[in-house]
Chains A and B, each alone.
Chain A
Amino acid sequence: MPLMSEVDDAARRRAIHRQAASIVAAVAPFGIVFGAAAATAGLSLLQAVGFSSLVFGGSSQFAAVEILGDGGSIASAAIAGLLLNVRSLAFGVIMAPALFGAWWHRGAMSQLMIDESTAVGAAQLERRWRRYGYLVAGLGVFVVWNLTTIVGHVAFAGAGDLITDLGLDAAGPAAFLALLWPRLSATSQRRTAIAGASVALALIPFAPPGVPILAAMCGVAAARLGPSGEDPDTRRTGERAS
């Protein structure tokens, strides 16, 4: 019945728009904090917007800018940022069937691959709605993320005191914790998080900025891919990683 499916389509479209809107709204303050953090770290407005549009990956942008601001090396900033985007590989595997089209079309759609677009896309059941949800959330976040990066950079440029006075330096840690939070309900994820945090904290006094974060990642990877990494949920990741 064509009429019925048209009604269903409109309802499905509205539901996706609602999901995307709440996610886009949640991203806005994060974008402002990123713009401010970039300004504090000494990046120009063009560089800050370059990160938000060309790299387009929230936590990786924060990591790179934070390390640059702390005086870390080019290599540690770029590697830490890229390691945070390794999960895009998994997102790509999940979303590939829905991102059909010519190769250049698939390539262009890939630029929108972030946590939010993948979450909204993967939540839909049919292939065309997975694609629609992915694109709506991805484009919405892209526009708002870049606009708020500009606002944060311009409004807070050179105002480090204002950032600490308003407690915005705690917004980054809170955002990382919020991104981590949904994972903590799974035992293996929780153990990995505790191991990563312990390694990073222990290394802060002994290694240049950025290295504790890399070491946490490498420690976990070594523990997982080591010779006895067969039984992921009963292994004691924390001890091996440290």
Chain B
Amino acid sequence: MSDATIVLIVMTVGTFALKSAGPLVLGDRALPLRMQQLVDLLPAALLAALTIVSTMGDGREVVIDARLVGLLVAGFALWRRLPFVVVIVVAAAATALTRLIS
């Protein structure tokens, strides 16, 4: 079995457990307040870490390349409240253009 298949199986079982815990087990009961606050904050830390690592990471090296230009343009597009699709397209276009020029 390949690594990817093992990860797929583990994530399928684990993710379904996380998704169905509320509807199947908790019902109408709410999590303790502190846990709820943590669950509410975790995605911010993770998405920020993923953004940085996928922009500046290359294995174990920190690199600054055309992806960073794409990310800055994406940030500008989000600040201008442009739709999700447009944000992705302008980020990709800015990155492609930067590579073309340099």
Interface residues on B, range: 35 or more
Q: A60 within 8 Å of B by Cβ?
A: yes
A242 → chain B, closest Cβ, in Å?
A: 12
By the criterion CB–CB under 8 Å, are A88 and B45 in contact? no
Interface residue ranges of A145-199 to B (CB < 8 Å)? 164-181, 183-184, 188-190, 192-197, 199
By the criterion CB–CB under 8 Å, are B84 and A178 in contact? yes
Q: B101 within 8 Å of A by Cβ?
A: no
B69 → chain A, closest Cβ, in Å?
A: 8
Please name all residues of chain B whose beta carbon is closer than 8 Å to the beta carbon of A65 when the two chains form the complex.
4
Please name all residues of chain B whose beta carbon is closer than 8 Å to the beta carbon of A64 when the two chains form the complex.
7, 11
Mark each residue of chain B from 1 to 30: 1 if its CB lies under 8 Å from any CB of chain A, else 0. 011111110111011101111111011101
By the criterion CB–CB under 8 Å, are B23 and A86 in contact? no
Find the B residue at minimum CB distance from A66.
B54
- In whole angstroms, how far apart are the Cα atoms of A77 and B7 in the complex? 7
Q: A26-B84, A167-B92 are in contact. Are A83 and B15 (CB under 8 A)?
A: no
By the criterion CB–CB under 8 Å, are A106 and B23 in contact? yes
For the complex, count residues of A whose C-beta is within 8 A of B: 106
Most buried by B among A64, A107, A177: A177
By the criterion CB–CB under 8 Å, are A84 and B18 in contact? no
Per a CB cutoff under 8 Å, which of B44, B75, B93 touches A193? B44
By the criterion CB–CB under 8 Å, are B49 and A217 in contact? yes
Q: A126 within 8 Å of B by Cβ?
A: no
Q: A84-B43, A88-B19 are in contact. Are A173 and B54 (CB under 8 A)?
A: yes
By the criterion CB–CB under 8 Å, are A201 and B38 in contact? no
By the criterion CB–CB under 8 Å, are B28 and A97 in contact? yes
Q: A29-B89, A55-B8, A200-B53 are in contact. Are A113 and B19 (CB under 8 A)?
A: yes
Interface residue ranges of B15-72 to A (CB < 8 Å)? 15-16, 18-24, 26-28, 30-31, 34, 36-57, 59-62, 66-67, 69-71
Interface residue ranges of A31-67 to B (CB < 8 Å)? 33, 41-44, 47, 50-51, 54-57, 59-60, 62-66
Please name all residues of chain A whose beta carbon is closer than 8 Å to the beta carbon of B4 when the two chains form the complex.
41-44, 47, 65, 68
Q: A141 within 8 Å of B by Cβ?
A: no
Find the B residue at minimum CB distance from A63.
B50
Q: A99 within 8 Å of B by Cβ?
A: yes
Q: A96-B28, A107-B24, A172-B54 are in contact. Are A205 and B91 (CB under 8 A)?
A: no
- List 14 A–B pairs whose Cβ atoms lie within 8 Å, in order of A's numbering: A22-B83, A26-B83, A60-B15, A78-B10, A88-B15, A107-B20, A170-B66, A174-B88, A176-B47, A183-B47, A197-B49, A204-B62, A221-B38, A224-B37
